[in-house]
Amino acid sequence: MGNAATYAEARVKLHQAEYTSDLTDTEDGLKKRKARSKLFQSQSKQLESSEHCDSEDELPPTPPEKLLWPAANKMTSRITIPTAQRVTSSTVQQIASPTAQRFASPSCEAMFSKLLSIVEEIKETQKVHGKMLNVLLKKQDTSVMEVPDGVVFPLQTQADVEALEEQLGDRSLMSAVVAMVADIGGTNVDDATRRMMKYILSNELALDYNMFGRHGKKKFKDLCLFNVVYEALKKNSLTAQVNQQEAERALSKWFTGARDRGGRRASRQPVPN
């Protein structure tokens, strides 16, 4: 800001630098310094009188743009900032970004509700799948059931059926056969019945039976094999709620379809001329 030849002259210019940045020794500079000094003194007196006033709220604050000194501007800015920061929630909503306002439209709300419903459906599906997976894991923890000695599936002849009926009088062997058949499983009563009966009876032997012994056929319901199938359905976690009537209906359907299995349906079709 300036130079000095002696220490005393530097002290004088230091005092002058507190009020002005012009430290030249020209007459114009001296006039400018005097004018600025007078202006600063008048403003200082005005600030002192306002500080000692009995009621400070009644006097309006000096506008920042009328203060000439940067220090005064900074002080005023510090005072007015807290007032400007008092913003209500409604004001925040008014100055929200256009993107947030677009999401508040009715169409976006409907889409958001639909997404929530889809997420809930996914959660329910995952719960069902989790239960099914737990059932499968539990089944894998158990040892694989083997066919008991003397039992051969599928049964091919009526003599095989009679021999097995005698063996099923033993309750321990009956329980072992039921556990083995139940391990075949199925997604529902009809599916499980079809899979189990295909394992137990050959299709040729199934033609000799129906559920209630009608039309000259043998009655499957009187056999211990019916109890084997029914108890196996009860042991299957996916068909555990089955009752006897539902089991009889599923078995009747399976015996009715026996005549169409193994290519017999196609052989009954008339040959075109």
pLDDT score of 217 = 93
Distances (CA, A) of 5 to 1, 12, 66, 125, 161: 14, 12, 38, 92, 131
The type of residue at 34 is K
Cα–Cα distance for residue pair 53/60, rounded to 1 Å = 12
What's the mean pLDDT in 86-101?
49
pLDDT score of 207 = 92
Q: Which residue has the higher pLDDT, 260 or 78?
A: 260
Cα–Cα distance for residue pair 109/207, rounded to 1 Å = 62
Report the mean per-residue pLDDT for the chain: 75
Q: Could you report the per-residue pLDDT of 199-237, keeping only the tens digit for each?
A: 999 989 999 999 999 989 999 999 999 999 999 999 988
Judged against a pLDDT cut of 70, whether residue 77 lies above it is answered with no
Judged against a pLDDT cut of 60, whether residue 158 lies above it is answered with yes
Scan for tokens 């499980």, then name that residue.
192
Residue 6 banded pLDDT, cuts 50, 70, 90: very high
Q: Could you report the per-residue pLDDT of 170-195, keeping only the tens digit for each?
A: 999 999 999 999 988 888 999 999 99
pLDDT score of 78 = 46
pLDDT score of 83 = 42
Q: Could you report the per-residue pLDDT of 115-147, keeping only the tens digit for each?
A: 988 998 898 888 777 777 777 766 554 444 566
pLDDT score of 249 = 95
What's the mean pLDDT in 7-18?
84
pLDDT score of 75 = 45
pLDDT score of 107 = 80
Burial-class residue 225 by CB neighbours within 10 Å (0-12, 13-18, 19+): buried
Task: Look up the pTM and report it.
Answer: 0.47
Residue 13 banded pLDDT, cuts 50, 70, 90: confident
